[in-house]
């Protein structure tokens, strides 16, 4: 999901131009004088990627999701964003931003974000349309990754759909539904792909990938678990080819039970596992920072489960951040690992990618060691990079562009 509101100085008049310049400065973008007349700027939310939350009924999805939406960083930091009711946005904790804000005297900090979409409860038979079956599958298809919420808490007052709390069985139930849905997709797609591959050699790779997926799924494994290359499978929108991560909803007093957590982690490896107590997370978002810290420490945690979840989700999606800073804001921008400098500029605005000239890059560590941009420049730590430069996590960047 990506929303940009375009503000063009020419169309919206002087005031917008002015604010656009401010935003541009804040975003670490310099239009080269004389080359650029028209400022085209976003006020962006750049919530690029969405994680679908799935799980059996009564595992704590709504509780977790309410915590996610109350914790909404979009509402606080991105005033122009429209927030959909079933989407919760969480900031990815990044201590570097506070340090940058100190160096630049920034007024505010904008972390990278991950958004979560609440997907109605999955039940046995969802792949055949049971429960909210089809709608549910369509929403998952649009997600970039799947986050399964698994019940571990033992509260006898909360009924389990299958009558007993068993993380292993629940994971199997959910995966089975997703696998069955994918097998149905392939059943329809394979005859078509076979025909296409006969007529066009270039389609052979997709056919081969689909056939391989069919075998893997037939064995009861997800495409992700089997490590299948998601690229040729992309056009098939297979659910199980998406990255998976797992949230175990654990009783608060079990969060320090390392033997239990290791056992659960092993169930889903190599996928990432996050452990939290959804009820505690719901309480935490109601508290101020000091109280929240006290509550976390009382259950032996260092940061909230939501923060951990955001961070893990970010890595699961293969993302990294680069940083921009100025008096207005210090900000983390989301890019894929391996993104080039123009691609990184494009995250701020597509025009910055098109008109990319060069980027001045200082690594976060160098900037902190030097204490200022001027000092970093004089020590030769500020590099001028061109369009082939591959970004590194934590690069502090100012782009030069021409529109």
* Binding site residues, ligand GDP, CB under 6 A: 55, 57-63, 121, 153, 155, 158, 249, 277-279
- Kindly state the smallest distance separating residue 290's Cβ from ligand GDP, in Å: 24
Q: In sequence order, what are the residues at sequence separation of 6 or more whose Cβ sits closer than 8 angstroms to the Cβ of residue 188?
A: none
Q: How far apart are CA 279 and CA 246, in angstroms?
A: 17
Shortest reach from residue 293's CB to ligand GDP, in Å? 20
Contact indicator for 117, 95 with CB cutoff of 8 Å: no
- DSSP secondary-structure letter at 32? P
DSSP three-state, residue 19: helix
Q: Which is nearer to ligand GDP, 212 or 251 (CB)?
A: 251
Q: Compute the least distance from the CB of residue 52 to ligand GDP, in Å.
A: 14
Q: Are 244 and 271 in contact (CB under 8 A)?
A: yes
Min. distance of Cβ 294 from ligand GDP in angstroms? 19
Burial of 259 (0-12, 13-18, 19+ CB in 10 A): exposed
**Residue placing its CB nearer to ligand GDP in the complex, 74 or 150:** 150
C-beta of 58 vs 350, nearer to ligand GDP: 58
Asked if 166 and 267 touch (Cβ cutoff 8 Å), the reply is no
Nearer to ligand GDP, 150 or 361 (CB): 150
Residue 158 CB, nearest distance to ligand GDP (Å)? 4
Residue from 66, 48, 1, 105 nearest 319 by CA: 48
Three-state DSSP string of 191-249 = HHHHHHHHHCHHHHHHHHHHHHHHHHHHCCCCCCCCCCCHHHHHHHCCHHHCCEEEEEE
d(CA 104, CA 99): 9
Give the shortest CB-125-to-ligand GDP separation in angstroms: 17
- Nearest residue to ligand GDP by CB is 60
Nearest approach, Cβ of residue 64 and ligand GDP (Å):
7
Query: Cβ closer to ligand GDP: 146 or 382?
Result: 146
With beta carbons less than 8 A apart as the criterion, state whether 246 and 273 touch. Answer: yes
- Closer to ligand GDP by CB, 193 or 278: give it: 278
Residue whose CB is less far from ligand GDP, 121 or 232: 121
């Amino acid at each position: 999901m990506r929303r940009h509101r375009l503000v063009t100085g020419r169309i919206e008049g002087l005031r917008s131009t002015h604010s656009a310049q401010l935003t541009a400065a804040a975003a670490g973008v310099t239009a080269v004088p004389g080359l650029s007349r028209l400022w085209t700027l976003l006020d962006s939310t750049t919530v690029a990627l969405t994680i679908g939350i799935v799980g059996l009924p009564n595992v704590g999805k709504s509780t977790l999701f309410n915590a996610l939406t109350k914790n909404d960083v979009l509402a606080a930091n991105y005033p122009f964003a429209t927030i959909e009711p079933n989407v919760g946005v969480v900031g990815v904790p990044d201590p570097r931003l506070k340090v940058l804000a100190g160096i630049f005297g920034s007024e505010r900090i904008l972390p990278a974000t991950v958004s979560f979409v609440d997907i109605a409860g999955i039940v046995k038979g969802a792949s055949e349309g049971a429960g909210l079956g089809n709608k549910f599958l369509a929403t998952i298809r649009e997600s970039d990754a799947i986050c399964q919420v698994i019940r571990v808490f033992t509260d006898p007052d909360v009924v389990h759909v299958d009558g007993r709390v068993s993380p292993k069985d629940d994971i199997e139930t959910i995966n089975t539904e997703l696998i069955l849905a994918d097998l149905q997709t392939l059943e329809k797609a394979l005859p078509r792909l076979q025909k296409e591959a006969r007529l066009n050699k270039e389609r052979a790779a997709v056919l081969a990938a689909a056939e391989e997926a069919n075998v893997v799924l037939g064995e009861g494994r997800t495409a992700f678990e089997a490590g299948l290359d998601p690229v040729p499978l992309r056009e098939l929108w297979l659910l199980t080819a998406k990255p998976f991560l797992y949230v175990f909803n654990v009783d608060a007093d079990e969060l320090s039970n390392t033997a239990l957590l290791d056992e659960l982690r092993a169930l889903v490896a190599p996928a990432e596992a996050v452990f939290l107590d959804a009820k505690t997370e719901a309480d935490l978002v109601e508290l101020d920072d000091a109280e929240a810290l006290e509550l976390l420490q009382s259950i032996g945690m260092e940061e909230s489960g939501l923060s951990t979840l955001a961070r893990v989700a970010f890595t699961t999606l293969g993302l990294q951040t680069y940083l921009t800073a100025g008096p207005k804001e210090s900000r983390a921008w989301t890019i894929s690992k391996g993104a080039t400098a123009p691609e990184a500029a494009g995250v701020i605005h597509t025009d910055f990618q098109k008109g990319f000239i060069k980027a001045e890059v200082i690594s976060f560590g160098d900037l902190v060691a030097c204490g200022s941009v001027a000092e970093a420049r004089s020590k030769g730590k500020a590099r001028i990079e061109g369009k082939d430069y591959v970004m590194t996590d934590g690069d502090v960047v100012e782009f030069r562009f021409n529109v």
